Amino acid sequence: MGIVRFLIRRIFTGLIVLWIVATGTFLLFFTRPVEVVARQLAGRSATPQTIETVIRNLGLNDPIHTQYLRFLNQIVHGNLGFSYYSQVPVKTILAQDLPITASVVIGGLVLWLAVGLTVGVISATKARSTFDRVSTVGVLAGISMPTFVLGELLILAVFVPLNQHGFHWIQTGYSGLSKGFIPWVGHMILPWITLATVQAAVYTRLSRGSLLDTMGEDYIRTARAKGLTERRVIMRHGLRAALTPVVSQLGIDVGALLGGVIVVEQVFSLPGLGYDSVNAIATGNLPVIIGFVIVAAAFVVVANIIVDLAYAGLDPRVRIS
């Protein structure tokens, strides 16, 4: 009951956020002189006739509120327009890109949480040990490392030498799961490492600090006094409470994840959502960019709902309401 009501409420506020994003997008892109908008929608090399057609077909001369309602109506019906470049519907382009971007996101996210939390927990339980010191240095290096620099250095130091010596498993570009799991991993492993490292550093620091804080609490002493094994004290009593700030940080970092994906796709020439939207900027392909902005906003909204559910699952004091 509680969960259903929570979901309904969150989906409702999520829709409002999406509406605000759509309105913002509309204001940004369509409230400029008709000629300018038409030129951007038609592409840079469009002839005056093409621009005329675009203005007529899209009704750019209509009053602004008519255009606005039509814009919203089209989004609701999943109609995001056509790429002027290939005349392919934007929806189709986004659908083609989605598996690639999902491959990067899911693998990277698993790696980042697994490494971040494991290193963080070991560092916290063995504070001031050699492992802890090494990991602190690693965290600092990771935080200072821009994602794209790490990606380029990995290509330079791993991909290029391996391929020069006839070892071709690790590749750039994309190979779909349909072509086999092993080649897929070979194409994705460097992007995953690149995406995960920077964030893993942040999460190591966060989970270490949080667990150290928790381990000073009275109820941990009580748990130890009960005679529980140290392992059980940490895993059952310490970690559960220590994870709440980590999960709430995850909600904030969803947007950052998207940014990271755009960069990683660019570095490794993975033709996903981020790659295509950056290319769309270079070619002035406005419909694709609008589509991407709206899909990105939807992704952030959905991910935040999931994070909130996880948050309530972890911390019994948080009631879903």
Partner 1 sequence: MSVTELEFQAHAVESAPAEAIEGRSQWQLTWRRLLHDRMAIASMIVIALMVLIAIFAPVIASIVGHGPEQAFPNTGTTVSGTPVGPGTNGFVLGTDYIGRDLLVRVVYGARISLFVGILTTAIATVAGVSIGLIAGYFGGFVDTVLARFIDSALAFPFIVLALALAAVFSPSLTIVIGVITFFSWAGISRIVRGQTLSLKEKEYIEAARSLGAGPWRIMFIDILPNLMGPVLVLATLYIPTAVIFEATLSFLGIGIPEPTPSWGSILAEAQTYYQIAWWYVVFPALALLITTLAFNLLGDGIRDAMDPRTERIFAAARARKGRRKKKQGQAAADGSAELAGPSAGTR
Could you tell me where the DSSP H helices lie in 59-180?
64-76, 90-125, 130-144, 147-154, 160-164
- Contact flags string 157-196 toward partner 1, x per CB under 8 A: --xx------------------------------------
82 beta partners: 89
Tokens of 173: 């570009």
- Contact flags string 108-127 toward partner 1, x per CB under 8 A: ----------------x--x
302-321 residues near partner 1, rule: CB under 8 A: 304
What 3-state class would DSSP assign to 289?
Answer: helix
Least separation, in Å, of the C-beta of 178 and partner 1? 28
> Nearest Cα to 191, choosing from 307, 280, 255, 271?
271
Q: H/E/C letters for each residue in 125-138?
A: HCCCCHHHHHHHHH
* Sign of the Cα pseudo-torsion (54, 55, 56, 57, in order): positive
Tokens of 16: 């409002």
Least separation, in Å, of the C-beta of 180 and partner 1? 26
Q: Phi and psi for 311 in degrees, rounded to 5?
A: -60, -45
14 beta partners: none
Question: Is residue 148 at the binding interface for partner 1, with CB under 8 A as the rule?
Answer: yes
205-264 residues near partner 1, rule: CB under 8 A: 205-206, 208-210, 212-213, 215-216, 245, 249, 251-260, 262-263
Q: Do 44 and 283 meet the contact criterion of CB atoms below 8 Å apart?
A: yes
Site stretch for partner 1 (CB under 8 A), options 23-31, 52-60, 87-95, 180-188: 23-31
Question: Is residue 278 at the binding interface for partner 1, with CB under 8 A as the rule?
Answer: yes
Interface residues toward partner 1, by CB under 8 A: 25, 28-29, 32, 40, 124, 127-128, 140-149, 152-153, 155-156, 159-160, 198-199, 201-202, 205-206, 208-210, 212-213, 215-216, 245, 249, 251-260, 262-263, 266-267, 277-278, 280-282, 284, 286, 289, 292-293, 296-297, 300, 304
